[in-house]
Amino acid sequence: MTFGGTQRPPSRWCHAATELDDFAMISYRVDTERLAAALPDGVEPDVFAFDDGAHASLVSVVPFVDRDFHFRFFPLVKVACGQVNYRAYVTFRGERGVWFFGTSLDSLFVALPQAAWKMPWHRDHVEIEGSWDGEGRCRSWSFHATGWGEGACRLAATGAALERLDGFADLDDTLEVLTHPMVGWYQRRRGGLGRYSVWHEVLGVRPCVVEDARFAVFEHLGLVERGSAPHSALVARTVHFDVHTPPTRVRT
């Protein structure tokens, strides 16, 4: 069996679309109880069984360069900038997805999600640079950010294809759970929870070796100690995302 992704929802006039360049996903294995303490009531950490016999949870940092982000009703205005999402793998009300601790955006456009949708986004300085060969395979990848989402990371390509990662049953399970969450929740500014969804094809990611990584957001949350080795690191040259704007408020 090969995971083929999910059906693409019909596009609406209010939705947005974007191309994500130099896309990376750096994940960490974390203590489930510590993660649960950082989440609101009702949002439960997913628990994974790892090869060493331990059970733990996962969080991930997802940096990329937004290219041509635009709303369908206004395609002439496009945004290009660095973005980083800090998230955890969770279940809420029986639905599996990700919890967003926050997002760094290197653009004045950050004012829209902050003001209109009360999202925990921050105006940070974000630098992302990937080196790719003629066939779209990664040679190296680097990230540096200052501000709320302070961090740095360097990755080196292995040249190998993605295989099953630790904590997952097989490659299909790895792709579906780790790289393909379609819904997410966040703590709204001024209270309450928000929910939003996206769509993308199955990501053609490849594994990388982590040469150096530090993400202050997870350190401040008490989830990752400085110098800890990530669970995994994946990269892709370009991926397309449909973004189902606007987010909705979760009814209590």
pLDDT in tens, 228-239: 999 999 999 999
SS3 209: strand
At 1 the three-state DSSP class reads coil
Name the pairing type of β-strands 95-105 and 183-187.
parallel
Residue 92 has pLDDT above 80, yes or no: yes
Contact 82, 126 (CB under 8 A): yes
108-137 per-position pLDDT tens digit: 999 999 999 999 999 999 999 999 987 778
Closest CA to 84 of 177, 152, 154: 152
- Parallel, antiparallel or unpaired: strands 55-71 and 74-92: antiparallel
Sign of the torsion formed by the C-alpha atoms of 220, 229, 36 and 102: positive
Half-sphere exposure at residue 173, Cβ-oriented, CA atoms within 13 angstroms: 9
What pLDDT is attached to residue 135?
75
pLDDT at 252: 78
With 90 as the cut, is the pLDDT of residue 69 above it?
A: yes
Who's near 175: CB < 8 A, 6+ residues apart? Answer: 3, 162, 202, 203
How much of the chain, in percent, has pLDDT values that exceed 70? 100
If one counts every other C-beta atom within 10 angstroms of the C-beta of residue 148, the result is: 18
| DSSP-H helix ranges across the chain | 32-37, 111-116, 171-173, 216-220
The confidence score (pLDDT) of residue 1 equals 58
Mean pLDDT score, 27-50 = 98
Give me the pLDDT at residue 233, please.
98
Dihedral, CA of residue 30, residue 32, residue 36 and residue 38, to nearest 10: -20
Rounded CA separation 22/153 (Å) = 13
Through-space distance between the first and last CA atoms of the chain, rounded to whole angstroms: 39
Each residue's pLDDT tens digit, 162-205: 999 999 999 999 999 999 999 999 999 989 999 999 999 999 99
Query: Hey, what's the torsion of the CAs at 130, 148, 218, 63, to 10 degrees?
Result: -20
pLDDT of residue 133: 87
